[in-house]
Amino acid sequence: MSNLTLTTTLMTNVTSLMANQTTPIPSLDELLDRLGFQTWEIVVNTFIFPLIDLIGIALCSFSLWIFSRPSFEDPIFFYYKLLCFVNIIHLSHNIPFGVLFTPKYFPMINTFASSIYNIYYSFIINFLFHFEDVLQMAILLHKMKLFVPLVKKHFTSSPQIISLALFLICLLIDLPYAFSIKIVSFGEYFYFDSDGLKHIVDFYYFTSSDFSQTLFGQILIGLTSLFLNSFLTLLVGIILNIVSYIKYKIYSNQRKRELEHLQMSSINNRPTTSREMEQQRRRQRTEQNIEKNMLRMSLTLCTISILLRFLYMSSIIYYFLFNSFFNSLLTEIVVNLFLTFAPTVSSFIFYSFNKMFRDETKNVFQF
């Protein structure tokens, strides 16, 4: 679920709260409780997710190091290296966002400064999530060049040029989202420092900007964030997965028939020993397994991206159908869970489907 919809609900609750508030300035815990924050939600965002992010950073850094070794010289591995690097940036941004989710355990934090970071985070994570998706599609398209002549004809630029073009396109699409949020004061709260001194400070948080409330802003953000970023990316990902699977099955069956025909011709033209036949079959099986596993790895990464994108859109629909602050927090945590785990598990996908990656990993750890 987008931070925009979450904070819109929060602003509504706070406005109502402040309008009816006749009691003295509340403590931070009392204020957060009135707003609907649950302790377990704060603990998960503040401590558990950042810990998983740290593990993910370590795994993605290791994957980046493996893909940077000399044996990974094929151009397609540039995409994998770039994807690992973007995942590291993604996970690095998640850590401050989790810690700054609320000031419950760090009441001395300047909430205005943390809100500035949260606005930046909302934009950059939206952009990085989008860029990761299209990189995975580029990986799949690069593999499709092997068995789809149309892709081979038009997908001719180097991975570096294609990645730069995709970066700029995603940045252009997601840029309006940076203007959809602003910072407001939600009232005051008090806390005691380590010396026992009482401090009264404003609680700042981010909410929908005035621009996002205008008709033009709603159309622009809806077109870019919801349609181009979310829906179109989801649709293209599903189509690519289906087409690539069908095309590969056709290619695989056609190649199998050609190899069988070639073997029969060889047998008719000259005597062939059983050893030669076995060596030829083994070599063909090895090549087919490598191609199949590389395609499976691309499909798996793209499928995870599709599931994440579907979850993101479902959370927005769920928010509008069951509009409550409690439900919005729950859906926000679910989305953050997948945004945290998706980059983290990529290393296991590389290890499962890429024999070269497994061999290099085993060499490093001397299995």
N-terminal to C-terminal alpha carbon distance within the chain: 43
E strand or H helix that includes residue 60: helix 49-67
Alpha-carbon gap, residue 209 to 12, rounded angstroms? 14
Mean pLDDT calculated for residue range 207-229: 86
pTM: 0.84
CATH domain 3-365 topology:
Rhopdopsin 7-helix transmembrane proteins (1.20.1070)
Alpha-carbon gap, residue 242 to 224, rounded angstroms? 25
Q: What is the pLDDT of residue 286?
A: 63
Of 163, 164, 196, 185, the closest CA to residue 80 belongs to 163
Alpha-carbon gap, residue 100 to 31, rounded angstroms? 16
**Lookup: tokens for 175:** 């840029």
The full set of domain ranges for the chain reads 3-365
Tell me what the pLDDT averaged over the chain comes to: 81
What confidence category does residue 168 fall into, taking pLDDT thresholds of 50, 70 and 90?
very high
Is residue 349 within 8 Å of 67, Cβ to Cβ?
A: no
What confidence category does residue 1 fall into, taking pLDDT thresholds of 50, 70 and 90?
very low
Q: What is the pLDDT of residue 207?
A: 78
The model's pLDDT over 308-344, given as tens digits with 9 standing for 90+, comes to: 777 777 766 665 566 555 566 677 777 788 788 888 8
